[in-house]
Amino acid sequence: MPKLASYNGKVDSIENIKVSPMSRAFLFSDSVYEVISFYKKKFIDFETHLDRLKHSLNETKISCSIEDCKTEIVKLLNESKFEHGYIYYQVSRGIDSIRSHFFEESDCERFGFIEEFSFFNQSPLKVMLVDDIRWQRCDIKSTSLLGNVLQMNDAKSVGCNEILMHKNGELTEGGASNIFFVKNKTIFTPELSSNILPGITRHQVIKIIKDKKLNFEEGSYGIDDLKEASSIWFTSTTKGILGVEEIVNLETKINPECELLEICKNAFVKRYFS
């Protein structure tokens, strides 16, 4: 089955999509994006994803109708035969006549594609602790991900499938996810800042934690907190809630399953995947 994609509202096989090499997404990573999951042909927290896309567009001063984005994303899902999966959708500032750091008013450029995906039976994560070398506006979901890409591949070379970033010893997030950890029967997660993306699954998990009245804190945490953690989880649209079994360069092995993780995971599956 050919992979479907959407370009400026037109749905076609991805092989037939033509993008200008003068696209500012191509030349500057001057674009923002969302990854939106769906299950049984229904989007999960669609409006929250759209709100975050709107935030990214506003912060980057990219002019684009959020209603056009919504219409195109829904159309892509409706024209696909996939029951479960995700849609990647990005908006760039547009196409330049000449390459220039200075941008002018132009029509935005919208592109998305749909993937079939299974959200269950994923293995626990093996991660590497790394310095956070990204830019200072990680609250914007930008396509400029070179820092993540380089460090994720460094981690892959030593058998890892995720990274856990810190800035001067202060924990931020994973390469493609937010982090939670458990210590003394309390769940912790770094508080939101310009160094942390407000993850949709992070938001969902915090709602579950509060609904279940579990002990919970948001704040500033360091590497030593990880050494004392009885459990560490990563959360994202495609990971859901996934435990960590080892941090290789801390020489720390962790039980990827714990009671609090199972409570949250079971509630998450029941709420969004039943």
pLDDT in tens, 138-194: 999 999 999 999 999 999 999 999 999 999 999 999 999 999 999 999 999 999 999
Any bridge partners for residue 36, and if so which? 87
* Sign, CA torsion 33/239/170/52: positive
Q: pTM for this one?
A: 0.95
Q: Which CATH architecture has domain 125-272?
A: Alpha-Beta Barrel (3.20)
Proportion of the chain above pLDDT 70, given as a percent: 100
- Rounded to whole angstroms, the Cα distance separating 93 from 30 reads 6
Domain locations along the chain? 4-116, 125-272
Cα within 13 Å of Cα(88), Cβ side: 12
The domain at 4-116 falls in which architecture? 2-Layer Sandwich (3.30)
- The rounded distance, in Å, linking the Cα atoms of 145 and 50 is 20
Q: What is the pLDDT of residues 79-102, one digit of tens each?
A: 999 999 999 999 999 999 999 999
